[in-house]
Structure 1
Amino acid sequence: MDFGLSQEQQMVVDTVRDFVEKELYPHENTVEELGYVPEELTKEIRQKVLDLGFYAANIPEEFGGGGLDYVTMSLLERELGRASQALSVIFGRPSNILCGCKGEQVEKYLMPAIRGEKIDCIAMTEPDAGSDVRSMKASAVKDGDDWVLNGTKHFITHADEADFAIVFIATGEEETPRGKKKQITCFLVDRGTPGFEIREGYKCVSHRGYNNSILNFDNCRIPASQILGEEGKGFDEANTWLGATRLTVAAMSVGRAQRCFDLAVNWAAERKQFGQPIGKFQGVSFKLADMATDIQAAEYLTMGAAWKLDKDLPADQDIAMAKVHATEMLARVTDESLQIFGGMGLMNELPIERFWRDARVERIWDGTSEIQRHIISRGLLRPLGA
């Protein structure tokens, strides 16, 4: 693995960081106060990303996207992680699973998503089906050439802005050596479809403005032509395209931690107590040393996992390690940064308390820390027959 950045990768880092600092940072306080991103601001940011040529950078070139490899995409996500989640999501990375579109779906969903004309959201989680996705109760029944969907999804981020939802729903059962398991099918469901309701979700302590929604399906009828992939093969489609989402969380955690750390270092150098900068005190300087080490370790884990994906090497364990370490590192760095800032760290005049709040959700979504440890330990024990 080459630890140096190519000229193209350095250009991506410099361009995205400049965009984040100039176009996103200035609006963070507004989003925090309002709890949403104003529609005109969303349109303005999206158009600037399109003009920059970075929209849909995660989509392979063969489908019309930017075609960035995993390492370069992780560098891009790291830079976006520095900004408010509600603003950085506008940078435009359509769900990769749309690459599974076929026939008319390509022009109806994939291409508009790549051009920034339509926004998608992924709906999988339910009130009684979080980590155990196969326990979902929402179901779809075939009726002629249509499917009728019923049930509820929640914690669906960005659904308030989405033009359509990528919905995973139970469509039957299959026998397995471990008993019956639900077959999951993926559907493309347009906003405004009769029987499909998008409701305001819960108030979350993390990532204000990046809102979650509740999706209700009440005899929602959609044609079979809107199945993404094959009937009953929704997990196969997800595993093909969505495997790197946890790597995205890791990369963004590294970027957010670095921004928080930079603020803490500057504060430790400038803030004086007892006649000298507080960074002179070992109690503070050792915190900084540990934080710097923690961040760099998380970055190496993240880039190493991305490198394996680019080389088509098995990377499930590496991604899990990156995700669990980077998100828990972010929690430690934001907490220690707040401690260094003291009382001011808790005040909303500074972004430290926001970083601290925002960090909490990273250990839960896209697979909890416990799930990541299960993946890691399973990979260690299964070859030994345990």
Structure 2
Amino acid sequence: MQYGLSDEQEMIVSTVRSFVENEIYPHEALVERTGEVPEEIADEIKRKTIELGFYACNFPESVGCAGLNHLEFSLVERELGRGSMALNHFFGRPQNILMACEGEQVERYLMPAVRGEKMDALAMTEPGAGSDVRGMKCAAVRDGGDWVVNGTKHFISGAEHADFIIVFIATGEDQTPKGPKKRITAFLVDRGTPGFTIRDGYKSVSHRGYKNMVLDFDDCRLPDAQVLGEVDGGFEVMNTWLYATRITVAAMSVGRARRAFDYALDYSATREQFGQKIGKFQGVSFQIADMITEIDAADLLTLAAADRLDKGLPANREIASAKLYASEMLARVTDAAIQIHGGMGLMDDYPLERFWRDARVERIWDGTSEIQRHIISRDLLRALGA
């Protein structure tokens, strides 16, 4: 990996950071207070992102997009991480799994998504199947040439705005020496499809306004044309397109940690106690040193993992390490920033208490910290036959 960013990459960073500061920050208090993103604000953010040329920048030039590589896209996500997730959702990064679209699906789903004409969401998690994807009970069975789907998905981010959902559904079961093993298929499901309902989910303390929704399927009929990839090929689609999404969590954690750190650094340099700036006290200055060291380490882990993907190198363990370390680093940094601010850190005069609450979910979604540790240790031990 070449350390240091190119001029073009520096431009990406400064452009997105400026956008977040000017177009996202001003609306954060409203979203935090109401738990909603007004439609006119969402539309304005989307329009300005399209004008900027960054909408669907994670998609290749072959479909009319910016074609950023993994490292460059990580820089975008890092800067977006500084702002409210509820608002930067409309900066527009469709699921790149849509590149698996074929035939009529390209014009019906892929191209409208990258042009900003339709929004998508991704659905895997169920009430009884979170990290255990093969434990999903939402199932589709053949009936008269169609698939009939029954079951429930929950914790589905962005579904309230989605025109269609990419849903992973059990489509069969194989008997193995270790017991039954579900076969999984990805489906494209349009909002308004009979038997398919999107409803409000749970009220979360993390990322207000960035809602999680519940999807209910009640004898919902889907034709073969709605299958994304191959029937029973859901895991292949996941492995091809989705595992890199953990880099997004890592990158956004770094961005949010840097914003929290900036508050702590400024406060340490201006706040006085006992006749001097509190940054002169070792108890504060050492925290500042630890915070920036951890942030830089998480940043480098994340960019190194993205760089491996760009070079076509195996990166599963490196991505897991970045996601694990960055998400846990964010928790420590936001907590330290509040400690430095004292009681004021918990007041809504500062956004630190929001960063603190928001940080908690990062260790859970897109694979818990425990799952990341399992991926890392398995990668190391398997090479030794263990």
Q: What is the deviation of 1:6?
A: 1.2
Which residue of 1 is the match for residue 266 of structure 2? 266
Which residue of 2 is the match for residue 136 of structure 1? 136
Cα distance in structure 2, aligned partners of 1:305 and 1:175? 36
Correspondence list, 1:189-204, <5 A:
189-204=189-204
Which residue of 1 is the match for residue 43 of structure 2? 43
- Conserved 8 A contact 1:17-1:80: yes
Which residue of 2 is the match for residue 32 of structure 1? 32
Which residue of 2 is the match for residue 276 of structure 1? 276
Correspondence list, 1:1-386, <5 A:
1-386=1-386
Q: What is the deviation of 1:64?
A: 2.9
Identity %: 68
Q: What is the deviation of 1:146?
A: 1.2
- Whichever residue aligns with residue 67 of structure 1, its letter is G
Q: What is the deviation of 1:222?
A: 1.4
Aligned residues: 386
Cα distance in structure 2, aligned partners of 1:177 and 1:10? 53
Cα distance in structure 1, aligned partners of 2:382 and 2:36? 45
- Whichever residue aligns with residue 96 of structure 1, its letter is N
Relative to the length of structure 1, the TM-score reads: 0.99
- Conserved 8 A contact 1:118-1:163: yes
Cα distance in structure 2, aligned partners of 1:36 and 1:382? 46
Deviations 1:233-260 (A, max 9, x none): 0111111111210000000000000000
Cα distance in structure 1, aligned partners of 2:223 and 2:333? 49
Change (3 A) 1:63 1:179: farther
- Whichever residue aligns with residue 4 of structure 2, its letter is G
- Whichever residue aligns with residue 377 of structure 2, its letter is S
Cα distance in structure 1, aligned partners of 2:15 and 2:22? 11
Cα distance in structure 1, aligned partners of 2:350 and 2:126? 35
- Whichever residue aligns with residue 138 of structure 2, its letter is A
| Aligned-residue CA RMSD (Å) | 0.8
Deviations 1:335-370 (A, max 9, x none): 000000111100111100000000000000000000
Q: What is the deviation of 1:67?
A: 1.0
- Whichever residue aligns with residue 245 of structure 1, its letter is T
Q: What is the deviation of 1:143?
A: 1.3
Cα distance in structure 2, aligned partners of 1:148 and 1:8? 49
Deviations 1:264-303 (A, max 9, x none): 0000111101111111100000000000100000001001
Cα distance in structure 2, aligned partners of 1:64 and 1:201? 35
Cα distance in structure 1, aligned partners of 2:209 and 2:130? 22
- Whichever residue aligns with residue 243 of structure 1, its letter is Y
Q: What is the deviation of 1:176?
A: 3.8
Cα distance in structure 1, aligned partners of 2:132 and 2:65? 32
Q: What is the deviation of 1:333?
A: 0.1
- Stretches of structure 1 lacking an aligned partner (at least 5 in a row): none
- Whichever residue aligns with residue 121 of structure 1, its letter is A
Deviations 1:5-58 (A, max 9, x none): 112111100100010000100000000011010011100110000000100000
Cα distance in structure 1, aligned partners of 2:288 and 2:4? 25
Report SS of the residue matched to 1:147. Answer: strand
Q: What is the deviation of 1:145?
A: 2.4
Report SS of the residue matched to 2:228. Answer: coil
Change (3 A) 1:103 1:80: same
Q: What is the deviation of 1:177?
A: 4.8
- Stretches of structure 2 lacking an aligned partner (at least 5 in a row): none
Cα distance in structure 2, aligned partners of 1:356 and 1:194? 41
Report SS of the residue matched to 1:247. Answer: helix
Cα distance in structure 2, aligned partners of 1:4 and 1:341? 32
Report SS of the residue matched to 2:383. Answer: helix
- Conserved 8 A contact 1:63-1:99: no
Q: Which moved more, 1:175-184 or 1:371-380?
A: 175-184
- Whichever residue aligns with residue 304 of structure 2, its letter is G
- Conserved 8 A contact 1:267-1:341: yes
- Conserved 8 A contact 1:56-1:93: yes
